Amino acid sequence: DIQMTQSPASLSASLEEIVTITCQASQDIGNWLAWYQQKPGKSPQLLIYGATSLADGVPSRFSGSRSGTQYSLKISRLQVEDIGIYYCLQAYSAPWTFGGGTKLELK
Amino acid sequence: QVQLKESGPGLMQPSETLSLTCTVSGFSLTSNGVGWVRQPLGKGLVWMGTIWAGGSTNYNSAVQSRLSISRDTSKSQVFLKMNSLQPEDTGTYYCARHGSWGLFDYWGQGVMVTVSS
């Protein structure tokens, strides 16, 4: 199975700050990676697909990048509505596996 | 407008069989796969299995021996059945559509299942 190691597990940041979350894949998954945001009591919402493409309706302050088997989600200017838990997902091969999640809080 | 909605019992007893239904609209089950994802309370997301547009299935090996996913395309419904429930099966169960890149692009609201005697 492909392991997705996500870091950090939790993150406290100030409004307008730049935030970066990473996922390390245990093997090559190409661009078969997505990022999701989950708010309390809600289902996950797609932010990024294909490692770097912004999903419809997602603010442009979110961006995804890839360097080898390391993937990053960047929030360029943190807003209040960005608070939640973020997950990466590899969709390269079954079993589909998620990162452990990053809980993003306001400082 | 793509929508998915899970339904099923909220409370189950250990050793019972869980049956959940995912009713979809806005797309055809013969065009997109639908997967089930479980989230234990306060924990992360775990893919359980998928039924693809052609009708084939993939299961997570951790639950494969207990899990069955099927569908009724005429009713736009996908079914999850999992037997021999244990307390550790407690959590929120989501159904989600597989979009491009094989990932989940639309999710249902989730249904909370508690396994307790």
Q: What is the mean pLDDT of residues B63-79?
A: 97
Q: What is the pLDDT of residue B101?
A: 85
pLDDT per residue of chain A (107 residues) written in tens, 0 to 9: 999 999 999 999 999 999 999 999 999 999 999 999 999 999 999 999 999 999 999 999 999 999 999 999 999 999 999 999 999 999 999 999 999 999 999 99
- Shortest Cα–Cα distance, B61 to chain A (Å): 8
The per-residue DSSP string of B60-114 comes to -TTTTTTEEEEEEGGGTEEEEEE-S--GGG-EEEEEEEE-GGGSEEEE---EEEE
At residue A42, the pLDDT reads 96
Per-residue DSSP letter, B15: T
3-class SS letters over A40-90: CCCCCEEEEECCCEECCCCCCCEEEEEECCEEEEEECCCCHHHCEEEEEEE
Closest CA to B37 of B12, B9, B6: B6
Contact A43 B108 (CB under 8 A): yes
Phi-psi region of B76 (alpha: psi -120 to 50; beta: other; left: phi over 0): left
Task: Evaluate whether A46 touches B104 at the Cβ level (below 8 Å).
Answer: yes
In single-letter form, the type of residue at position B94 comes to Y
Test A91 with B102 for CB contact under 8 angstroms.
yes
Q: Is the pLDDT of residue B1 over 90?
A: yes
Interface test with chain B among A86, A93, A96, A98, by most B beta carbons within 10 Å: A96
Task: State yes or no: cis peptide before A44, omega within 30 of 0.
Answer: no
Each residue of A71-86: pLDDT tens digit? Answer: 999 999 999 999 999 9
Chain A: closest CA distance from residue B55 (Å): 16
Q: Judge whether residue B80 has pLDDT over 90.
A: yes
pLDDT of residue B2: 97
Model pLDDT, residue B102: 87
Q: Which pLDDT score, from 0 to 100, does residue B100 have? A: 83
**Residue B105 — pLDDT band, cuts 50, 70, 90?**
very high
| Cα separation, B65 vs B75, whole angstroms | 27
